[in-house]
Every structure is written in structure tokens, then in C-alpha cells.
Structure 1
Amino acid sequence: MHKTQDWPKQSPRLRRALLILIAFFAAILFGSRTVLSYYVDALWFQSLGYLDVFRRSLGIEWLVLAVFSVTTFLILYGWFLALRRIHQADLPRDHAIMIGGQQVTLPVQSVLRFLGIVVSLAVAAMAGTVMMAEWPTLALYLYSPDAGRGVVDPVFNKPLNFYLFTLPAWQLLIGWLLILALIAGGIAILFLFLSGSNRTIAITPGNQRRFPIPLRGLSIALAFFLAVLAARVYISRFEQLFNDHTIFGGITYTDAHVTLVGMLVIALALMAGAAIAVYNAVSFPRLRLMLLALAPAVVCYFVFQLLGWYVGTFIVKPNQLMRERPYIAWNIELTRKAWGLDRIAQREFPAETTVEAADPANNQATLQNIRLWDWKALQDTLRQVQEIRTYYDFPDIDIDRYKLDGTMREVMLAARELNVDKLPDSSRNWINDKLIYTHGYGITMNPVNGFTPEGLPNLILKNMPVQSTVPGITVKRPQIYFGELTNTDVYVKTRQQEFDYPQGQANNLTSYEGSGGIPLGGPLRRILIAADRGDLTKVPFSDDITAQSRLLMRRNVRDRVEAIAPFLTYDFDPYVVVGDNGRLYWMMDAFTTSDTYPYSTHYPLNDAPINYMRNSVKVVIDAYDGTTSFYVFDPQDPIIAAYRRIFPSLFKDAATMPTDLRRHVRYPELLLKQQAAVYGLYHMTDPDVFYNREDLWTIASEVGMGESGEQQTQTLEPNFVLMKLPGETAAEFVEILPFTPANRNNMIGWIAGRSDGANYGTSIVYDFPKTKLVDGPMQIEARIDQNAQLSGQLTLWNQQGSHVRRGTLLVIPCGHALLYAEPIYLQAERSPMPELRLVVLALQDRLAYGPTFESAMSALFSGTASSLNAAPASAEQMPTALTAKPGSPVGSSRAALIAGAAQDLADYQRLTAEGKLGDAGQKLEQLKRKLDELNAHRD
């Protein structure tokens, strides 16, 4: 016989004390880290002036956690107690199990009580945590504004606010209840299983033995589940407006006439089933009544599925366009509203082909700002000539417009940031990483088409300390403590001076003078901050850190804004701005998005489908002290209006943005790309044309260079251009993107997002005549490849120890024509620095090229012959106002040419002696080009 051992019994008081002790240590273990993190976060928000934002968001989060955790626990534990009461007569008091060959008796009811508490607490904690993460959905529902009530959907006549704010909250709440219903059903099945071994035998009149099944608890769980499921089916009717179909999005003819009615009937059938289950629970429970509770909904489901198949197959498909026409029209109208396409103006563009149509004399602002520096080529060049030290980097190139000598010019800027990962391993220690190497330094600025005689960028801002060649552009605070590569915490205002910039054999040192960051204060505060940031063994014991020292954390501008306002979507490309006060700022575009705009088609953004997008906010971050400001640029957006009600101190009006910064706001790249993708289909506003896809557009493609250096076809990126739009009188900063017909290479139109003055945020689409074939970027690329002289030269260069890099092909409207421009660079295999060798320009029926922009322009507009080694054209040959002015980026002096030729000759002789024939050939080519230019000057 097995030995029997009873489970040790505990007094209720001892058991309660044990639970309290476990809960206390769990709170200490898991809560101390959370409390510490909240403390440091509060200090960080306070340093930015957003402590009330932190308090409000934290208060909402914890309120949601508390409400749903407590409610979930009360529901589940109350359900445990109710089931135990229902099954009290059938539950065994003890249950024997075998452990190590010994029979152990478990007190079933005590264990159930303990499991009820533990399971309820665990599920409550998980439910509260999940709902806590969804606090923006609930907050938007509670603070939803009146804005947006003017837009109603055409099916249910519900206002826009219902879909943006109310429906997502309903979905969240019903999803929570549905999970609870499933868990409640599982618990009921568990009790049913446990009570099965202790059921009494009933003798029926026919002397048949029967084991009555206690179904009361399961019937109640079924009733709860069916009621919640009925609510879920009911609100799913509204979700049909978000469905994307093959041809269009939203409700179809079949949905309107069958599906919506069917879902309403099924919801009513589920409620009827819930009533049957409740009746079964209060009467003598029977299994057949539980099955009967499910039957109405199941029958209705199959009936309406069959009816929907019949309508779709025999009524809609034979006459699909006629049946679906009104629903297609609704989809077109509301998709255009959701993506802001209804704000786009539409104009005709003749796309003429002659030189006269380009009208160079009246489009000087456009021609003088054609971007010949490809941003990747410029980045590689700057890394060679302006990094100065290996631990600096230029992570990105930005394009903007500045007034130079009284003339607005398009320029390219690059921030010189400190990359601590590039520091030598021997110098990687806590003091260097946290106290000394704390910031980057300065920026570079160059005109988009400015080249020196050596093919390098003509820099307006350069070097360390920052030097400026234009009096109106100065940098007085060049230190970059907050940027795109500042991914580590640093401590400033310490006794240890910080590295500022290299100067000869020594280093220039500095100390932080700003007010940004968290003051470390006294010993206790210092210990708490150090514990949170992982510096507990360093900060409290460092002699360099004082009470006045400051912690700069979340210095990456993306991390910074996402920590302050995580509910916004941010553009991937922050850009640097030089203020009139000489300080550096970062500007970022922020968006509000939704996937519940009625009858709007979804498009992917960051791997998530959305069907509504607004560029509602511009964020400005001071690169020196980290001050972060959020400016609202689209107050009509209902989502940002709701967030302004939640966080009134976070957002500022656009009118309060400083004037010098307002001049540099721009139409966001991300928004233009999304709108262009949608516009390619939804520019067709006629349902018949839309249905047949008669005029489908796509974003144009070009030949680009992949990551491994090979040429490949890729979609054009938006291009910023300082130009005079057709029909306008003044030049403005716009972002353009060309369209081609689907599966074709010829161009059909282009879109321009405007950035200046009163036109900011508006956009225009220019349509080409459908009776005219206009070359697209791929066709111009093919014309370049088919030119015998160009093709031969490019092949030759690729065989001389170097390779050819082709820049982005730009498509620039000029007058009533299109001007195509592509820079071509030559890069030695042993040198990562590309050098501009050719500029290719084209009109619809003319292709010209030259080693300089002036020579290519002369060949295109003045009729001179294109040449790979031509000298710059004389003033008489050049179009009006295109000649280089003294000191202009494209000018060169005779003395510079002579000095350059002498250096090329010396380099040629040296490289030949070293046997580096490929590099020597390049120097010989450069020497020949300079001699040709000198001959032209002599003539």
C-alpha cells in the first residue's frame, strides 16, 4: 500500500501573512526600478519645461492600469467565487496525487481559492498593462474635439469623430471583454472537470442511471460570451468601411445590401442566444439548450453567407461597374479627403520641347540653382575633406535655401557630428565617453552647384572653428550636443574640460555654458540618477562631477521627440538649420495618422497600413541646449486638436515660431511620397475611368547606384528645387516628383509641394498633354547610354582603376519645357572621394554635356558642340545672366588654373614612377582639361 501524506494545513492568518510578504517583496523587486525610472524621467521632462506633460500622460496611464486591473480582478475572482458556490456540492474536498512514490492529499478547495487569487491577479496585471499601452486611444475618446463633425460617412451618417475617436475605443473595450469572456469560459470548464469525479447518480423512471452535468456556470459563461460577441459583430458593421478590395476600398454593393443587414441580424441572434443561455442557467440546465443558444447565430451566418455569394455572383459580377459606381465614387471622394488630395491644385503643363520654351532668360533662379551635387557623392567628399579627425562623421546631407549676398540660393548642409564609436579603442573609457568627447562641432554649407577647379564643393561654411565666406551666414554656437548620432548620455559642467575641436597638434577645450540637462545636485539625487543611467559605480565617486554638473540624456533628436510625444509619427529625416542668431537647430516634421478614416483606402507607412495622414506639427530642437518646441501647422486636424486638449502646454501655434526658423520650414518628403503614391490612382475622379484603370500613374524611376555599387533601377526620391513655378512670378522652394503612366517610362505629370510664405503646405499637380510623348527619366538615361561619345568615355573611365558614379537624374520644369540634369562623377578605386567630371543636360529633343555646368549649358542653349574636354563658354556664348560672376561658385581664376596644372603634372610624374598607371591617367586627363581652359582664356 502507498503511504498517504496529507498536504500541510495552514491557518488563514499565516496564509494571508505569507501572501502579503510575497506581494511586498515582488513590489520591491519590480517596483523600485520603475519608480527610479519615473523619477529620472520627471527630472528630464522638468528640465525641458514639460513636467505637466509627463504628469498628465503618466496619470492617464496609471488610471487606465488601475481601472482595468481592478475591474479585471473583480470580474475574474468574483467569477471564481460564484463557480465555487455553484459547484460546491460536486467539488471534492481532497484529491490524492502521487509524488515520489508517495500519495499526497491536496485540499482541493483551498488550492482552488489560492489559484483563483493568483490567476485573477496575473490576468488583471496583464490586462491592465496591455490597456495601459493603449492609453492614447482612450484619451482621444475622452478629449475628442468638435472638429471633424462636419464630415459624415455616406452609409451610416456617422461623423468623422466617431470613426477617429469613438470606434477605436469601442474596439479596444470590446476586445478586452471578449478576452475576459473566453477566460471565464475556460474557468467554467475547469470547474466542470473538477466536479465530474464527485457527481451523484440519478435514477431515471426507466431505472437508467444518469450522471447529471452541472451546467449552470457554463451556461452563464456562454451567455456572457454571446452577449460580448454580439456587441463585437455589431461594431464590425462600421469596420466594413475600412475594408480594401481589389478595385476600391470601403463598402461594396454586396456589403450594403447583404453583409450589413446580415451582421445586424447575427448580432440580434447572438443576443437571443445569450437570453437562452441565461434561461438555461436559472432553470434546470440542459446541454441541448446550450446548443440551441448557438443555433440562431450559426444558421443566420450560413444563410447570409449563401445570400452574399448569390448576390455577388449573379447580380454584381455581370453588371459590376453599374452596381459599384456609387460606392466607387464614395471611395474616391473620401480617400482624397483623408490624404489631403482635395487640397491639391491641378494645372496644365504644355511640356514643349524647344529651347525657346525653356525661356532661360526669364528662369535664371531655376537655372542657377540646379543641383549638381548628388547628396551621396557630397557626403563621401565631405568625409574626406571636412571630417578633420576620424571620430567625426556627416550622417546626412540636407537641402535648404538661404539668402547669400542678397540673393536666395539653394544650398546643401551637413552637420559634423561626433561618433564615439570611431574613437580609438585605447581611448574608450568612461571619462572620455561621458565627460570629454561630448559633442560634435559645426556644419558645412555649399551651393548645390558650386565646385572648385579641383572638383570639390565650394564651401560657404567650413573647417573648425567655423569659417564663413558670406557675411550674412555665421555660426556662433557650433557645438552639437543634440543630433542624429548623439546616442550616449554625457555629463557636462564638470571639472573636466570637454574636447571642442582639434587645432594643430593640440586640442581646443571648452565647458558647457547652456541650461539644458538635469542638474545632478546633492549626493542622494546623484546616486539615484546614476543608478538609473547605469553609472552607479562612477558618478557618485567621480571628483570631476559636482552639484552643478548636468546630465544630458536622450540626445538623439529622434529619441528625444518620441519620448516627449510618442503618439505622433515622425519624418525619418531631421534637417539642420542655421538661425539668424548663429545657433544651430534641428527641424522635424511630425504627423498624425489613423487607419479608421471611413471609406478611405489604406497605404503602408512604416510597415503599418494607414488611411489618413496630416503634417500637423513641426518640431524644433536646439542643437546646443536641447530645447524642444512643438508648433501646430494644421489646426484643422481633429487628431492634433484632441491632443492639444490633452496636453495644452505642449503645443504652440505656428505663428509663435521665430521668423528666422519659419523661413526654413518645408513640405515634408514623407508626406509628398505618400500623397504621390495615392494620387497615382486617385487623380481619376470619374468612377468609370477609375474602375477601368485607364489613367493609372506611378512615381517615375531612374538608374541609381545600389549599396554594393552596382547600377539598378529605383524609384525617384522627391527633389527640393529653388525655382519659379509655371505661371508664378517669383522663385520659391518646392519639392517635386514626376509621374509616369503605369508600366511605361514616358512622363505624364509632376507634383510640387510648396514651402514658402502663404503657399506653405499647398501643392500643385501639372498634367502633360495626353497627345504628346514626353521622355521620362529612364528614357533620358537610355539616351545618355546610347550616345557614342559619352558611352565610350564612361567605359574608358571604368577601365582605368576607377569607376563612374552617376548622380541623381533631376527633372526640373523650366519655363514651358522640362530640363533634365545628371552629374557624372569619377571615383578612383583607392579613393572614396568622387570628382565631378561631366554634366549632362537635356531637353525633350536635345542632349548636351560638358565637363562644367557652363559648358553644358552653352551646348544646350547656345548651340555650341558638346565636348568632354571643352573649356567654359565665353560670355558671348552663354545664355543671358548665366556667366559666372566674380567670386561665384563656378568661376575660376587663371592663377588657380596654372597652379592646378603644375600640381597635376607633378602628380602624374610621381604616380607614373610608382607604377600607378590608372591614377596617373586620371591626373593626365585633369592636366589636359586645365590646359584647354588656359588656352581659352588666352584667346
Structure 2
Amino acid sequence: MSFGQGFGGIFGRPDDPSGGSDDSGGSNRGFGFSSGNGGSGDDDKSRPAGAGSRRPGALLLTLIILGVLVVLFVLFAMVYTEVLWFNQVGYQNVFWTEHFTKAILFVLAGVVMAVITWLALHLAYKHRPKNLAGQLRQNVEQYQKQLEPIRRLVFIGAPILIGFFAGTAAMNGWEQVLLFFNQVPYGMEDPEFGMDLTFYMATLPLLSTIISFLTSVVLVAGIAGIIVHYLYGGIRIEDGTGITVERAARFHILIFASLYMLLQGGRYWLNRYETLQDQSGNWAGALYTDVNAVIPTSTILAIAAILVIGLFIATMVNGRWRLSIIGVAGFIVAALIAGSIYPFLIQEYRVAPTEQTMEAPYIERNIQYTREGYDVADVEYTPYAGETETERGALSGDGATTANVRLMDPNLLSQTFGQLQQFRPYYSFPEILHVDRYEIDGEVRDTVLAAREINPPGDDSWVNQHVIYTHGYGLVVADASEVGGGGRPSFLLSGIPTSGVLASEEDYEPRIYFGRNAPEYSVVGKEEGEADRERDRPQETGSEQDTAYTFSEEGGPSIGGMFNRLAYAIKFGSTELFLSQDVNSQSQILFDRDPVQRVEKVAPYLSVDTNTYPAIVDGRVKWIVDGYTTSDAFPYSDQSQLESATQDALNVDPNLILSGQVNYIRNSVKATVDAYNGEVELYAWEPEDPLLQAWMNVYDNTVKPYSEMSAELMDHVRYPEDMFKVQREILATYHVDDAGDFYEANDAWSIPDDPTSGSEAGVKIPAYYMTMQMPGQEQPAFQLTTPYIPQEREGVAQRNVLYGFLGANGDAGTGEDGVKAESYGHMQMLELPRQTTTPGPGQAQNNFNSDDTVSRELNLLRQGASDVINGNMITLPVAEGILYVQPVYVRSTGETSYPVLRKVLVAFGDKVGFADTLAESLDQVFEGESGAETPEEQQAEGAPEGEEGQAEPPVASSPGEQLTEALNDARDAMERSDSAMADGDWAAYGEAQADLQDALERALAAEGDEAPAEPEGDAGNTEAPTPAD
């Protein structure tokens, strides 16, 4: 059999070179077609015998098979290792539910696309015309000769390939499908159609996706069939008669056109509901033109699409295209007029002249549903005087707030923690520390804290990277308000072994295997009788040796067997993992160790707050993670860009902030991740959230009720930071109740820029956690706060005065297991008079910078190549006004330098105080006696371990005496430093070096004080300090 005959045998009867069915009879416009000449084998008969393509050699075939098997095994290893991970953490149903749903969608969408496309190709070919004459036949045969050798490959391969891509794309909709089939009613209806709000978040998105997918199927299959009809003469251009369409081609075009119009009708019908989600207008949702023009015309166009289908059916019956062409043209004109021109005319000539009046009802809807979407409908608005005049004893009633002023800036203390508490180069602290609160001697104190995480050398051996250096050690906690010796933190938990008034090593498990900076993976575990291998911690003070340790719980999948070891070696691309003798039968592999990453994997429906923080809970270090359920489909709610809303002066890295658009958000889940074994626990924090309820239906028994949270865990829950940032952006505009005022935007606010950001101009001031007592509150609470200033308007200079102050109560603990405080989450907005002169943060910073006394003293601190760093600008509502507090740090030059607190700036109204302590600064502002209760500066009891009795020296009576005493202290510190180095006591050495740095800074300051004072007339020329970066 020749080459041509071989294809004839494949595509048709062996004796039929055309490869097609031989339907006899019928005209060229009927369903009976004569066989087209699919190409004979004449040209191939001249080919020499044996000239066919050579079969691949056995070696090449073997290599191909082996290559395919290797690729398949690598893919299997990637899936298998994930299955082991999910099984180990106890969330295997999350993995299987997600991937099973994706598999169903892939198969379903792929089969629908592939089958319909194949059917269109097959029927178009089957019913091709066979009795073409003359030139037409020759033209068609030219196409057929090119296509016929690969026709079956194209007709089968193309639908499969298109189906594969369609199935792959459809898998992205797995969350929509699961949400649709498990949806729970919201219990609130939209104001236009009366639909439950869940319809917009769970049903409408899936319906829109289905219509879009089916439209793609119809277009792809329809166009594919038309191409085949054209190539085989079913659609042709004839001289003198124009375009000729055979009956089979006509049926194909009209059937697919009817399906397309049916889907367009469905699209127009859904568009009625989607207008309530529209974000293109001045305000979100369906406005006057939408309700009175777009929605009615969408209904008309949906019906018109059905009528056009009737005309298509008529054309199929009588073969006349005129009705269909008229119908399509009429529909296009109707869509243009009804969908574009008519709404435009309504907007321009009916709405625009009296827009404020016409849009008022719809603006009210926008305000109501935006507040509902962002959970800010119950904010308490409180008028606040905004006093700027000071009087003696004015702060006597605000002791709960002034006693907790945060002087230890968590954004500047990382170097300080590192120099005083790192102890070994393989430990590290985060760049920005965390803020929490702990009860100490019956009193709740704000703290700054950080986990001492592992930081193995980056260029070290595989064994060191993955077997030896496996975990960090302990938390370091400092009082946020009190200052220790030399301006350093007053540590409540510190050292190795960890100790302090907060806890001791016996009170909790200090080892940190899971954290924000954990290595990619670690291999832990040993066989019985083997020595410990993991580097644990330094031994007692005075020893250069480190202790060894072995992980003792279940924290990762087992790699004791060769198969699991091979699978993970492939996953991580590591031959050492497979071949190393350090991997034994008891080995586990710990990976995916970032708490945020672990929560995202076990709860893929959550958006996770990146500001996770560690806490000592029930004898363990637990990372506390906030999880959000979000939607961008809430009706009438204004959308927020998460990147923009959550970015501020402390969070500018786009890789560390939330992304996407939302107009509905709930802090529905509080999660914890055990720092030792990686255990993930999810708690339904807002169980009434319908999105969370739906996902709890999907993933049964994965989320616990918050009633199972311990009292100690409740005490460390706080208001979520990223959600608060989104809410504060919304409330800058949506604090307004009246639709007319909202329309005029004459009371719009903005978040002020951070005045301490230096060169990073235009970045928003961070939201700050602090314990304070807002006006009207019965007791102080741990709150998340932010100030507001007037929004900048074009052509008008922005006033940096304070218009509002927002606080969100973050205290959830009640002292009982599983009981949430009713006041948790309560938001209070203090509204200042619009004619206020109360300075905003930027104006307060300018007052600091322009004050002559402040400038002169800061310039003295800068002498000796020291840097002056402005700490966080704290805003406090006290004494019916606004108090600003800013700690001032000094850092000398040198690799081992770190910031120490030297001064405290305060401002109330236009008055500025600047002194060594908060109490002294407040007294300067409030007529010599503020009446404030302030934390007393700790001395020896607040110093880090090893500094007992080395309190900051008392201030000498003159600059000369201060200089002498500072130099004596420096000499003593140098002697202690030399002695500690000789003994190998590196902890004592670090403390002595810190004391030396402090003494030198005091000596430089004292030396500056001895310099002749500047002439009084030059005071105004003193250079104002520049905010530090």
C-alpha cells in the first residue's frame, strides 16, 4: 500500500481516496453531497519503495520513554510531598477538596470545549459539498491537498489542545464553584432587586464565569466549523453570484449564532444585577442613570436577543438571509441606542443639571452598603473639643493613657536588641519589632518584643544549613513605656537561658523552629543512642560552647524511608538530602515554616495579614495570625486597592503587603502557629460571617469555634492591623452621613504623611498600637489608632490640622476560656471642630524642628559624629486636646552602635517640651506640673542581665563634672570589656561595650555643653533638625 493509500485507509474506505462518506444525491444546497476529492495517491505512487520515514532506533525510543517517565515521576514527587505535608498538619481534606474540584473543572471544561469543537469540525467535514464543478472544484482541491494529509491530526489534536487550555483556565474558578454550592444567606437584601447579598458574592460571579466560558466555546467551535466549510467549499465566493452558503454551512452558522445570541441575552440579564457592583461612576453601585436607563434597556436587549434567535430559525427553514441580517443589524442598532446613547442622554440632560438632587438616594445607598461591607457601620462618633491651651495639672485625669506612652520605638530597636540580646551570629531579630501586652504584677503593660530566630551563614555547608542550625531560641520582651539604664530598653524577658519578670525558661518552650525567617527546610530527628546534632543555644555565661539538641515532636513528614527521601530530594533539588548519612530512619523534614505561609496553605480562602506576631501562650510560643474573608462583589460598596490602603511608612515592600481589590472584608479567622512544632489551629472569630460559614461547609472540621480558645490566647489577640488600615481609608470619606455633604466632599479627610519618614515623602503615618483610655471609656484598652487631617484639594493649600482620631479596641480577653469581651472591635471616632487650630502630626513635627531650644540641643547631640533619630510620633487625646509624644534617639557611628533613648519631645497646641524624661517634658508644657502619671525610668532593675548595679550615673551639677564622670565610666567599661574578652564571656563583653558606648556619648554631650553659648541674636539661625530616615 502506498503512502496516499495508507491515508485513504485511515480517513475513509480503503477504496475511497477521498476519505469521506459517499452520500449520493441532493443539490449543492442540500444535505446530500457528492464526495469531494480528498486527494488521490497518484503523486505518491511514484515514490520509490522503501522511501518512507525511518523508524526511530531502539536507543532513541528508550531515551524518550525514560525522559517521559522521569518527568512524570518529578510531577508525582511534587504532588506526593504536598500530600505528606497536608497529612502531617492534619488538613488533608483541604488538599483533596481543592485538587478534586480543580480536576472536575479541568475535565468538564476541557471535554465540553473539545467535544463541541470536534463535533463542529466533524459535521462540517462530513457534510461538505461533493459535486463542485470546474474552477470551483480546482480551487477547493488545492486546499484539500494541503490539509488532507494532516486532517485527522488537526481534527483530533486541535480540539484536544484547545480543550486542554480551556480546562486549565477553568481550574482557576474552583473557589467560585465551591462557594456557590455551599453558600449561606447574608440576611440582608439589596435595595434595588431585593436579592440576598450572598447572591452577589457567591452566585452572580459563577453565572458570569459560566456565560463567558460558554461564549468562548461557541465562538471557537463556530469559527472552526466555518473554516472547514470554507476549505471544503461549503462557503465560497463565486463570480457573478457573490457568496454561496451551502445548506449544511447555513445550519452551522445559524445554530452557533443562535447559541451566541442566547448567551448574549443571558449576559444582558445578568448585567442588570452587575450594575449594583459597578465602580465606574463617581460613586459605587447603580446610580440614577443605571436604575432608570441601563437596567431597563438591559432587560429589553435580553428579550431582543431571544427575538433575533427566532429570525435565525426562520432563516434555517426558508434559506433566506434577509430576516437574519435585518435582525442582527437591528439588534446592533438597539444595543447602541439603548445601551449607550440613551443612558448618555439621560445622564447629560436629566441628571447632570441637578446631579446632587438626582443622585442623593443612590449616594445614601453607597454610604450604607460601603459601611456594611467594611464593617464600619457601628463606629461611635464623639465630638471632641481639640483644646490647644495648657494649664497646670491638666493631665491629672488621663493617668491611664500617660502611664502607657510608648517611648520604646519598635521600628528603631532592632539594632539595640541585636547588640544586647543576639549573643551569637547565627541568631537574628526582625527589622521591625512587634507590639503586644502582658500582665506583670497584676498590671497590664505594653511591650515591644521579638523572636530570636535562626540565621545560619548563607555560604555554609549543607549540613550546617539544614541539619545543625535548625531553630532560634526564645523571645526577648521589653517594656514599651519604661526606659532602662543608659536609655536602653527595660527588658522583661531576655538572655539565654531566658529569664525575667515576665517568665523563665521553665515556664515555656523557647525553641523556635517555625518563624518568619526560618530556613527553607531542616532535617531533624535522630535514632536511639545517637548524639544530638542540632545547635541549640550558648551554654551558661562564661562558656564559648553551645549546647546540642534534638527536635522531639511531630513537626514534619517523615523522610526515614528511601522513597520519601527521594521525593523530597527532587522537590528541593538536593542530592545531599538523598545521599547524606545525617538523614536516618527517624528523620523528619520541616518546611513551609513561615506562619503566614502555613495559614495560607491550610486555609486558601483567606487573605492573611502579614503582621503576624509571637506570644507566650499556655507554655508555648505561638504565632498569632489574622485571616480575612474578602470579596470584590459586594453591591453598592466602594472598592479599595489593598496595596495602597495597607502601605505606610513601615510597610513599603510590595512583597509584604496584601494585594487585590476588595469591597467586603471581615476578620473572620484568628489562627495560631506553634513555633516549636508548626501546628496550625484556626478559630472562627466572626462565626456569623456568611463567607466563613460557606467555607466551613466546604472544609468540615478545620475551623474551631472561638469558644475553644484559652483565656491566655484571648489576652493576646489584638485588632487586625491590615484590616484597620483599609477601614481607616474608607472612613476618611465615609464618616459623612449626609448625602449632600458627601456629594460636595467638603468634609473629606486623609491619612497624614509620616513626619519622621525623611526622604520617603508621601508615605502614610503608620497605625499604632497602644494602651489608652478614649473619652467615654470606662477603662483603658489596648487600641489601634490613627489621626486624620483635611483632604488636600486642588488649588487649595492643605491644612495640617487634626480633624479626627480613630481608635479600635483590641482587648478580647476576659480572663475566661473562650469568652470574648463585648467591647472588642468597638471603634470610636473623635471629631474635632472644623475650625480647629489643633496641629496635625506634620505641623507638630514642624513645631519641634523650628523650636530654638530643641534645635540647639539636638545639634549638640549630633556632635561627635552621632546620629539623632526621631522616633514614632504618638498621638494621644488627653485633656480635651491632642498631645504629641516623640522619643529622640542617638546612635553613634560604628558597626556595633545602636540607638539609645536620649530625649523626649512633647507638644500640646503650639507649646513644645524637650527633656530627658517624659515627665519633665510634660511639666515644661503644662505650666511646671502636668499632673500626669508617667512610668518611672528604671535603673538597675531594668537593665539587661549582667548589668545589675550599673544604673545610669546621676547627672553631675556642671558640664565639667559630667565629662569627668563619663570618662571614668568609659574607663571602667573598657576594663570590664578586656576582662570579659580574656574570660571568653561574650555576653558580658557585649554589655560592657554597650556601657562604653553610652559613656562616650555622655562625654561628647558634656563636652558640647562646655562650649561657649551662641549669641542670643543668632538663635533664630540655628539649623532645624531633619527627621531621620
Provide TM-score, normalisation by structure 2: 0.80
> Structure 1 residues 311, 894: closer, same or farther in 2, change over 3 A?
same
> In the aligned structure 2, how far is the partner of 1:879 from the partner of 1:679?
32
> In the aligned structure 2, how far is the partner of 1:235 from the partner of 1:454?
68
Q: Which amino acid is 1:59 matched to?
A: F
> In the aligned structure 2, how far is the partner of 1:492 from the partner of 1:193?
67
- Of residues 744, 764, 769 in structure 2, which corresponds to 1:715? 764
Partner of 1:872: none
> In the aligned structure 1, how far is the partner of 2:554 from the partner of 2:267?
53
- Of residues 826, 834, 849 in structure 1, which corresponds to 2:899? 834
Of residues 690-699 and 794-803 in structure 1, the stretch that sits farther from structure 2 once superposed is 794-803
> In the aligned structure 2, how far is the partner of 1:614 from the partner of 1:603?
14
1:605 aligns with 2:660: no
Q: CA deviation at 1:447?
A: 0.7
> In the aligned structure 2, how far is the partner of 1:22 from the partner of 1:63?
33
Partner of 1:851: 916
Counterpart contact for 2:523–2:588, Cα < 8 Å: yes
> Structure 1 residues 31, 573: closer, same or farther in 2, change over 3 A?
same
Partner of 1:924: 1003
> In the aligned structure 1, how far is the partner of 2:490 from the partner of 2:805?
31
- Of residues 111, 122, 125 in structure 1, which corresponds to 2:161? 122
Instruction: State the secondary structure of the residue aligned to 1:374.
Output: coil
> Structure 1 residues 316, 909: closer, same or farther in 2, change over 3 A?
same
Q: CA deviation at 1:890?
A: 9.6
1:240 aligns with 2:280: no
Q: CA deviation at 1:767?
A: 1.6
Q: CA deviation at 1:526?
A: 2.9
Partner of 2:330: 296
Of residues 660-669 and 89-98 in structure 1, the stretch that sits farther from structure 2 once superposed is 89-98
> In the aligned structure 2, how far is the partner of 1:179 from the partner of 1:621?
44
- Of residues 531, 536, 539 in structure 1, which corresponds to 2:570? 531
Of residues 250-259 and 922-931 in structure 1, the stretch that sits farther from structure 2 once superposed is 922-931
1:814 aligns with 2:878: yes
Of residues 835-844 and 697-706 in structure 1, the stretch that sits farther from structure 2 once superposed is 697-706
> Structure 1 residues 755, 910: closer, same or farther in 2, change over 3 A?
closer
Q: Which amino acid is 2:616 matched to?
A: V
1:546 aligns with 2:594: no
> In the aligned structure 1, how far is the partner of 2:475 from the partner of 2:132?
77
Of residues 499-508 and 652-661 in structure 1, the stretch that sits farther from structure 2 once superposed is 499-508
Q: CA deviation at 1:928?
A: 7.0
Partner of 1:871: none
> In the aligned structure 2, how far is the partner of 1:327 from the partner of 1:755?
34
> In the aligned structure 1, how far is the partner of 2:950 from the partner of 2:569?
60
> In the aligned structure 1, how far is the partner of 2:449 from the partner of 2:138?
77
> Structure 1 residues 196, 778: closer, same or farther in 2, change over 3 A?
same
Q: CA deviation at 1:845?
A: 4.5
> In the aligned structure 2, how far is the partner of 1:324 from the partner of 1:233?
24
RMSD (Å) for aligned C-alpha atoms: 3.6
Counterpart contact for 1:703–1:713, Cα < 8 Å: no
Partner of 1:905: 967
Q: CA deviation at 1:571?
A: 0.6
> Structure 1 residues 929, 386: closer, same or farther in 2, change over 3 A?
farther
Q: Which amino acid is 1:782 matched to?
A: N
Report 1:176-195 matches (<5 A): 176-195=213-232
Instruction: State the secondary structure of the residue aligned to 2:686.
Output: coil
Partner of 1:415: 451
> Structure 1 residues 22, 601: closer, same or farther in 2, change over 3 A?
farther
> In the aligned structure 2, how far is the partner of 1:826 from the partner of 1:94?
92
Partner of 1:724: 773
Report 1:194-205 matches (<5 A): 194-196=231-233
Partner of 1:313: 348
Report 1:596-635 matches (<5 A): 596-606=633-643, 607-635=659-687
Instruction: State the secondary structure of the residue aligned to 1:758.
Output: coil
1:736 aligns with 2:770: no
- Of residues 253, 261, 264 in structure 2, which corresponds to 1:229? 264
Counterpart contact for 1:740–1:747, Cα < 8 Å: yes
Q: Which amino acid is 1:54 matched to?
A: F
Partner of 1:169: 206
Q: Which amino acid is 1:543 matched to?
A: Q
Q: Which runs of 5+ in 1 are unaligned?
A: 203-207, 865-876, 913-917, 932-939
Q: Which amino acid is 2:594 matched to?
A: N
Instruction: State the secondary structure of the residue aligned to 1:342.
Output: coil
Q: Which amino acid is 1:747 matched to?
A: L
Counterpart contact for 1:828–1:919, Cα < 8 Å: no
Q: CA deviation at 1:378?
A: 0.6
Counterpart contact for 2:940–2:949, Cα < 8 Å: no
Counterpart contact for 2:105–2:167, Cα < 8 Å: yes
Instruction: State the secondary structure of the residue aligned to 1:341.
Output: coil
- Of residues 307, 324, 347 in structure 1, which corresponds to 2:382? 347
Partner of 1:263: 298
Deviations 1:701-723 (A, max 9, x none): 331235xxx46453211111112
Deviations 1:181-200 (A, max 9, x none): 22123213321431249969
> In the aligned structure 2, how far is the partner of 1:654 from the partner of 1:60?
29
Report 1:683-694 matches (<5 A): 683-694=735-746
1:443 aligns with 2:475: yes
Deviations 1:364-420 (A, max 9, x none): 332221111222211122222222233322123110110112211000011111223
Q: Which amino acid is 1:634 matched to?
A: E
Deviations 1:563-610 (A, max 9, x none): 1122210111111111241x1110111101111101111111144221
Deviations 1:444-496 (A, max 9, x none): 10011232332221212222222224458965311111110114011110356
Counterpart contact for 2:391–2:927, Cα < 8 Å: no
> Structure 1 residues 409, 863: closer, same or farther in 2, change over 3 A?
same
Partner of 2:188: 151
Partner of 2:825: 761
Q: Which amino acid is 2:544 matched to?
A: Q
- Of residues 488, 498, 503 in structure 1, which corresponds to 2:520? 488
Partner of 1:89: 130
- Of residues 112, 118, 132 in structure 2, which corresponds to 1:71? 112
> In the aligned structure 2, how far is the partner of 1:442 from the partner of 1:136?
39
> In the aligned structure 2, how far is the partner of 1:711 from the partner of 1:527?
49
Partner of 2:436: 400
Partner of 2:197: 160
1:431 aligns with 2:472: no
Q: CA deviation at 1:860?
A: 3.5
Partner of 2:288: 253
> In the aligned structure 2, how far is the partner of 1:358 from the partner of 1:12?
101
Q: CA deviation at 1:285?
A: 6.1
Partner of 1:511: 550
Instruction: State the secondary structure of the residue aligned to 2:666.
Output: strand
1:136 aligns with 2:136: no
> Structure 1 residues 846, 618: closer, same or farther in 2, change over 3 A?
same
Partner of 1:44: 85
- Of residues 528, 531, 534 in structure 2, which corresponds to 1:498? 534
> Structure 1 residues 435, 159: closer, same or farther in 2, change over 3 A?
same
Partner of 2:598: 560
Deviations 1:588-636 (A, max 9, x none): 1110111110111111114422111111001100000000011111111
Of residues 616-625 and 124-133 in structure 1, the stretch that sits farther from structure 2 once superposed is 124-133
Count, aligned residues: 887
Partner of 1:867: none
> In the aligned structure 1, how far is the partner of 2:874 from the partner of 2:132?
80
> In the aligned structure 1, how far is the partner of 2:128 from the partner of 2:201?
45
Q: Which runs of 5+ in 2 are unaligned?
A: 15-54, 56-61, 644-658, 793-798, 812-820, 956-961, 975-996, 1011-1029
> Structure 1 residues 580, 11: closer, same or farther in 2, change over 3 A?
same
> Structure 1 residues 201, 337: closer, same or farther in 2, change over 3 A?
closer
- Of residues 100, 112, 115 in structure 2, which corresponds to 1:59? 100
